[in-house]
Amino acid sequence: METRELRYFVAVAEELHFARAAARVGIEQSPLSKAITVMERRLGVRLFIRTRRSIQLTAAGESLLVDARRILAEVDAAQRRLSDVTAGRRGRLRVGLGEDLAHPRISKLIADTRQDELEVDIEVIRASLDVQLAELRAGRMDLGFALAAIDLSALFQQEEDSERSPTFGKDIHVAPLWKDAVVVIAKPGSVLALQSVVKPPELTTGPIILVGEPTPSRSGHRRSVEFVANVDVVLTLVGAGRGIGLISAAQAETLQWTDLVVRPLESPAAQIQTLLLRREEDRSALVMRFAERAQRNIKRKAS
C-alpha cells in the first residue's frame, strides 16, 4: 500500500462521507471512490459497507484504521525530522578541539549553541591538527578548532603579524577567528622572570620551546627552537631549566603550575590566531550556522 492510499482511506473512514473526504484530500469524489475500491480488491477484504444513505467501516476497516493512523503519523514524523536535519534544526555536530586549545570563547560558543539549538547534539573531540584534518576529510568530523603557528621570523624582526591564514589544501576551508597575545613562560629567578615585559631580542637564555612542528615561518631566524607535543611538555621543560616557553595568553590562564612565571611579550607579531576548519564542500545549514555564530562572536567582542 502507498501512503497516498492510506491517506485516502483514513479520510473516508473518519468522515464516513465520500464528498467530504474528497474535499479533505483535494481530489474529486469519483477518483477517491475508485481508489478505495481498487484498494479493497488488492487487499481482498471489504473496508466499508456502502448504502445509498450511509457508509460504515467493516471490522477489517476498523482494524486497518488503527494501523493506517500509526503508519501515517510515523511517516509525517520522519518527514519532519528529515526537514529539520536538512534545515540544520536537528542533527549531530562533531567538533574537533586542538589538544592544547582551552579557550573561554570556544566554551561559550559551544554553550550558546547548545542553548539555542536544543535538538542538536554537539560532540567535542580532542584531536591534534593532523588528526582533525584527516577526520574532516573522511567526513567523521564536521568542524575543527586549531591554533596557527607562531611566526617566529616576524616576531624577532619586530614585524606586524601576517593576516594570511595558513592553508591545508583546497578541500579544507580555513576561517580565521580571534587572536590572543603570545606570552613567555620562564623559570622563577631567571633573568626574564625579573622583567615586567620581555622583548624578543632578550629571549637568549635558552632554546625557545613551542608546541607543534617546524614550519618555514618558524625557521627563518638564528634562535634555537625545540618543538614538543603539548603545553604540559613545554611547562615541564621550562621548569627543568631547559629553555623558554612561548604559548598563548589563553593557554596561560588555564595553567595549574604555580612555580613558573608568565610574562607578556612585546612584539607586533606576538599574537597567535585560532582557526576554524571545515570541509570546503560541506555547506550544510548546521555547519554554516555554527561558523557564522563564531564569526559574529568575534565582531561582538571587537565592538
The whole-angstrom separation of Cα 257 and Cα 232 is: 10
Q: What distances in angstroms separate CA 90 from CA 83, 93, 120, 127, one per listed residue?
A: 9, 10, 5, 25
* Angle (CA) 40 46 50, round 5°: 105
User: CATH assignment of 91-302?
Assistant: 3.40.190.290
pLDDT the model gives residue 274: 92
- For the stretch 204-255, pLDDT in tens is 888 999 988 776 555 556 778 998 988 889 999 999 999 999 999 988 887 7
CATH architecture of the domain covering 3-86: Orthogonal Bundle (1.10)
Q: What is the pLDDT along the chain (303 residues), one digit of tens a residue?
A: 889 999 999 999 999 999 999 999 999 999 999 999 999 999 999 999 998 888 999 999 999 999 999 999 998 878 877 776 666 566 889 999 987 787 888 988 999 998 888 788 899 999 988 999 999 999 999 999 999 888 888 888 876 655 667 788 999 999 999 999 999 999 998 999 999 999 999 998 889 999 887 765 555 567 789 989 888 899 999 999 999 999 999 888 877 777 899 999 999 889 999 999 999 999 888 899 999 999 886 655 544
Any idea what the Cα angle at residue 23 is, between residues 18 and 27, rounded to 5°?
Answer: 90
Cell numbers standing for residue 35: 481508489
Residue 17 sits at the vertex; the CA angle it makes with 14 and 20, to the nearest 5 degrees, is 90
Query: Hey, where are the domains in the chain?
Result: 3-86, 91-302
Least Cα distance to 83 among 92, 91, 94 occurs for 91
Cα three-residue angle 32-34-35, rounded to 5 degrees: 65
Q: State the helix-helix crossing angle for 3-15 and 29-43, rounded to 10 degrees.
A: 110
- pTM metric for this prediction: 0.68
